[in-house]
Amino acid sequence: MNKKISPLPRILALICGLLLILTLFVPIWRIELDAPQYPEGLELLIRADKLDGDVEIINGLNHYIGMKKLATKDFVEFQVLPYLLGALAIFGILTFLVNRKWFYFSYAGFFVLFGMISMIDFYRWNYNYGHNLDPTAPIKVPGMAYQPPLFGFKQLLNFGAYSIPDTGGWIILGSGVLLLIGGILEVKNIRKSRRAVTILAMMMALMCLTSCSSGPRPVVPGEDSCAHCKMTVTDIRFASELVSSKGKIYVFDDLECMKSFLHSPEFNDQEGSKVFVTDFSSGELHEASHGYLITSEELRSPMGSNTAFFISKDSAEYFKDRLMGEWVPNEKYFY
C-alpha cells in the first residue's frame, strides 16, 4: 500500500479536489414546492454557508402548520460545512501530490464518511422540522407530519415537494463516482493482495444484498406507469406497489388497478407478494395491512376508485368527516 498511485486514479483525485472548490459558490441542494396557488413554484436552496431562495415566503406558509421558522443562524452545519468541503478539496489535491495508494484510499474513505454523515444529518434536520410542530398552529391535521423528502417527491397537503441535488450536490455525487472508479482501478492493480480480494468480496456482497431487496421503492410521478392500465402515474397520493416474492415491483396509479392486476391471470404470485400503498396524508408507502381506507366522491382518484389509504386512523377519520366519506374494508382490495 506504500506504492505510487496509478496515473488515472491520481488524475481523478485531482479533478475531484478542483471540482469540490466550486461547491463553496453554488447551491448544493434544493427543495421545490408546487401548489395551485403558486404556479411558478417556490424553492429553498441550501448552500454551503446559508439558506437561500424563497425562505421568507416558505416561513410564512410554515407558520400556519406550526413549523419552526427556517433561519441560517440556527444551523451549526453552515458554520462547519464550508471548512469540510474545503478540506475535501485540499485532500484531493494533496492526494495527487503525495502520490501514494494509502493516501488515496484514506481520501476515499473520508469522502464516503462525509457523504453518509451529511445525509443522516439532512434526514434528521427534515424530520425535526416536519414533526416538531407548534400545537397552537392554525392548521392541525391529526396524524399529519410535514417532513420533506430526503430525495425525490412527496405530497404535503396541497403542496408537492421535490428534494433534489443542485449544482453543488451533483458535483459531490460526481466526485464520489470518480473516486469509486479510481478505487476500482487501484484494486485491480493489487489483485494479488488479500486485502484487495476482501474489498471486492465486500462490494459484491453489498451489491447482492441491494439487488435482492424485497421492499418497495419511491414512486416517481411523470415517469412510472401503471402496470395494469399503462397510464402514467400523476397523483402519488393514490399510488400503490405490488412486490412479488422474487422482488419484482409493479406500480399502480389507483387502488382499483392494483386490485384488478392482483387477482388477474397475469399475476400468479398472490401468496408470496406484498402490497404497499401511499399514505394520502404524507405521500409515503406503507404495508397495506397496517392502515385504513376511506372512499368519497370528493377524492377523485385517477381511475375512479375514489379511495384513499391512511396509516393513521386519526388522519383517516379527519378526512372521512371532511369529505363526507365512508370506511372501506381492507379485504375489498388487498385480500
Quick one: average pLDDT of 110-127? 90
Establish how many alpha carbons lie within 13 A of residue 36's alpha carbon, considering only the half-sphere containing its beta carbon: 2
CATH of domain 7-211: 1.20.140
Residue 267, H or E segment = none
Quick one: average pLDDT of 138-147? 77
Q: What local confidence, expressed as pLDDT, does residue 335 receive?
A: 63
Q: What local confidence, expressed as pLDDT, does residue 325 receive?
A: 92
Q: What local confidence, expressed as pLDDT, does residue 171 receive?
A: 95
Quick one: average pLDDT of 254-262? 89
- pLDDT band (50, 70, 90) for residue 198: low
Q: What is this structure's pTM? A: 0.58
Q: Report DSSP letters for 176-230, one per residue.
A: HHHHHHHHHHHHHHTTTSHHHHHHHHHHHHHHHHHHT--S-----TTT-B-TTT-
Task: Report yes or no: 109 and 91 within 8 Å, Cβ to Cβ.
Answer: no
Q: Domain locations in the chain?
A: 7-211, 236-334
Q: Cβ atoms within 10 A of the Cβ of 203, count? A: 14
Quick one: average pLDDT of 90-115? 92
Distance separating alpha carbons of residues 183 and 189, to the nearest angstrom: 10
Q: Is the predicted pLDDT of residue 211 greater than 50, yes or no?
A: no
Neighbour-count burial for 273-292, b at 16+ CB within 10 Å, e otherwise: bebbbbbbbbbbbbebeebb
Helix axes of 7-22 and 77-98: crossing angle, nearest 10 degrees: 150
Task: Report yes or no: 110 and 88 within 8 Å, Cβ to Cβ.
Answer: yes
- pLDDT band (50, 70, 90) for residue 201: low
Helix/strand/coil for 91: helix
